[in-house]
A and B are shown apart, each in its own frame.
Chain A
Amino acid sequence: MYETLEQIHAFISQPWPWWMGGITIGTTLFLLLYFGKDFGLSANLRTMCAADGAGDYADFFDFDWEKQGWNLMVALGAMFGGYIAANYFGGDGMAHVSQATVDTLNNIAGEDLLTISTVPLIPGKDIIHQDIPAFWNLYSWSSLFSVRGLIIIVGGGFLIGFGARYAGGCTSGHAISGLADLQIPSLVAVIGFFTGGLIMTWLILPYILQITI
């Protein structure tokens, strides 16, 4: 019995292949539609603003936010899912990216800081990755108090929150729910996501990462 559990644990702990995305996303979408809800996680940011009293400042936040409680529970569940995955099913805790990506990352850093077997899942110091190169230590409290970390954590968060609501949805609302419903506006939004993403990745991000203060 214990051995079987060990095997199941080892099986789940492996890195998942891409086609598991269809199963994971499909199950999520199916269950939410079955419960009569629409899948879209960034709507929670609006709800959280409204819950904090933002309705006094803009009527955009003046709505019956308590009806959105279900979506906050999805976000809370996602947090819990991340906790369990990271702590109990994390496997080696690495991002299994291609050699080409490792080369690109080393190119940006200007030195060979990473090899194909040492790319962490998250560029931030944690229990597994204590010896992460300082260059890739982006998501930690110490990074927050650097110019580079501030731009990425605070600036990036702002762009995501602003852009998602401006566009009326994020990766889950447009790229999944919207495209699945064959909505042309969602296709335009997804093209926008990739346009912005390519501009940032190719033209801006390498310079931001090289800021050393």
Chain B
Amino acid sequence: MIPIEEIYSDPRIKENLNACINCGVCTAICPASDYYDYEPRYVIKILLSKDENELEQLLSSDYIWYCGQCMSCKARCPRENAPGVAISALRYWSQKLGLFVKSKMGRNQIIIKQTIGQNIYDLGYCVHPSKVTREAHPEQGPVWEWIFNNREKAYSLVNVNIDREGPGPVRKISDKVMNEIHSILNGTGAVDFWDQIETSVNEYKNYHKNE
């Protein structure tokens, strides 16, 4: 059983089913539809049906993880709905209910948690120069590799005091500010959400380790 009323009360779902007739314009413009066997129209069709079993299957599948969140769908929808925003809500509920571990793409959320999530918690940035390594990002190329290995020099050439307190790019965020950020991340459920992602994926891996 999934908490269907709670899911449908999420404003991101409520505000993006307005007068939808499942015309498929969202699918026509969707870059993810070019790349994957994917249609945002299908996601919205299931949401419109309010079929609990179908919705649970959707939340347990790879399907909701194909969207690239560009929101091109919103720009073209004749009803000004944003299927991409509704998908954000579905991804939240998939993780909240632990259903995401049934999907290989869903389980990859642990990678996002361990990179972007960790950057936010440790540094106050989603992306930081010290974390974009060649191993993780070979596509960044040799110029970035030189910058990465010579950060102090490279950033000083553009008048940036990297990792120092005070205003400016890639400054060190003060401990006082980081305490506020930690308080928000803890007090609004982000840290519990991350723990749940990590625990669910680890439990899934342990359960399936002999397969």
Q: Do A and B come from one complex?
A: no
